[in-house]
Amino acid sequence: MNVTEMRNPNSENIDKYSTRKILKTINNADQEVPNVLSNDKIIDQLALIVDKIVKSFQNDGHLFYIGAGTSGRLGVLDASECVPTFGVKSTMVQGIIAGGSKAITQPVEGAEDSLTQAPLDLQTHNVTKKDVVIGIAASGRTPYVISALQYAKKLGCVTASISCNPESEISKYSDYPIEAVVGPEILTGSTRMKSGTAQKLILNMISTTAMIRLGKTYSNLMVDLQPTNHKLIDRAIRIISEATNVSKDAAKTYYEKSDQQPKVAILMALCNIDKNTAEQQLSETKGRIADNIQ
């Protein structure tokens, strides 16, 4: 059943609505999305996917999102945000979109229909059996994504998929399929709306949970963020202060003594140790602050 292409009865006269009523109609539809994702079957499947991703990362593997159009752009977005948020290398989580980087801002005609390009794109990104590949397609039948999953399975990769139709075609080629059926869109077939929202939420859940499991946070603080501008430097100092219960001035001192490494600064303050010792202890616990606290 192709739910993503069905007409939504709640918006059949939307072109006659007032501006406020259009906004309210869209908002009402958007509120359906989180309820769909709270389903235990989806959460359980996501937990399995995240555990596989964490294991992959711990064995020098990578996470690849691959999709076309809106789905591809959302994968690229989530991957790119992992770098500043969690201080990881840009290769750790990668987004691949049909049509290449041009397709991020412009449509590339026919790119999603190719059955040969996705394997070539995965080869270009040096995908190996140690990696996890997640195919994203709201319709669940995008040829580019299907061929990507087929190739990834041949390599021996763990595969997962995210779609918004029941019994999606891409689910057949995925070890861990997610089908978030959020129903017909307010604009018929415009999967940048509810389907896109569902995909964005799922990707947030996957990458954030994996990073938490890897020790990229201490409590709910982003201790591995990259302080690359004045706003982020100030945030890093606040994080150090909140994590250690020291003054902002003291936190700034620890920040500077740690060579601008918030996680190292936190451990220095909590354990009253120097920078080299803090770095050594974090190395031994694979970056998890909590494992160093008695």
Tell me which residues are annotated as active site.
Answer: 81, 112
Here the tokens at position 228 are 């690359």
**How far from 189 is each of 6, 166, 185, 193, 201, CA to CA, in Å?**
7, 15, 6, 9, 19
3-state SS assignment for residue 159: strand
Quote the CA–CA distance of 15 and 245 in Å, as a whole number. 55
**C-beta separation of 140 from 163 below 8 A:** yes
DSSP states of 218-236 as a string?
A: BTTB-TT----SHHHHHHH
- The token pair at 45 is 């499947």
Sequence-ordered list of residues with C-beta below 8 angstroms from that of 64, at least 6 positions apart, any chain: 93, 94, 95, 96, 122, 125, 127, 131, 132, 133, 134, 152
- The single-letter code of the amino acid at 278 is A
Query: What span, in angstroms and rounded, lies between the C-alpha atoms of 214 and 219?
Result: 13
Rounded to an integer, what distance in angstroms lies between the CA atom of residue 200 and that of residue 107? 20
Which of 133, 76, 132 shows the shortest CA–CA distance to 100?
76
